Amino acid sequence: MSHFAKVENGLVVSVIVAEQDVIDSGIFGHGWVQTSYNTHGGVHANGKTPLRKNYAGIGYTYDSGRDAFIPPKPYPSWTMSEETCLWSAPIPMPTDDKRYQWDETTTSWIEIDGNN
């Protein structure tokens, strides 16, 4: 079985598990694009060939020119990596043992205390 994303006007509206011949039969309509549950950031978790940069999710964009599924942009200041088709903050998140959340107003990472 494989995973397939229903793409309408470039937007993923559904993801299902099905056999290729069922998709090819047209029983579910057209516009299905195969996606790999094990692909993230252009890397396959099991060392196999990655498929379409990222596993598709509802609300993702399918860019046929890049042949890639791209998650929604989380913040206006973030930029997308052409290599991974993932979004990154303009500054890296601190790598200490603390928890952080992005603050778009200040375009910085804000520490989350244990009470939040």
> Residue 113 has what pLDDT?
84
What CA–CA distances, in Å, run from 38 to 7, 28, 30, 61, 95?
Answer: 19, 24, 24, 18, 25
> Within 13 A of 32's CA, how many CA atoms are on the CB side?
20
Q: Which residues of the chain have pLDDT under 50?
A: none
Identify any residues that bridge with 32 across adjacent strands, giving them in sequence order.
6
The structure's pTM equals 0.90
Alpha-carbon gap, residue 22 to 12, rounded angstroms: 19
The tens digit of pLDDT for each residue in 73-86 reads: 999 999 999 999 99
> Residue 45 has what pLDDT?
97
Domain ranges (residues) in the chain: 1-72, 75-116
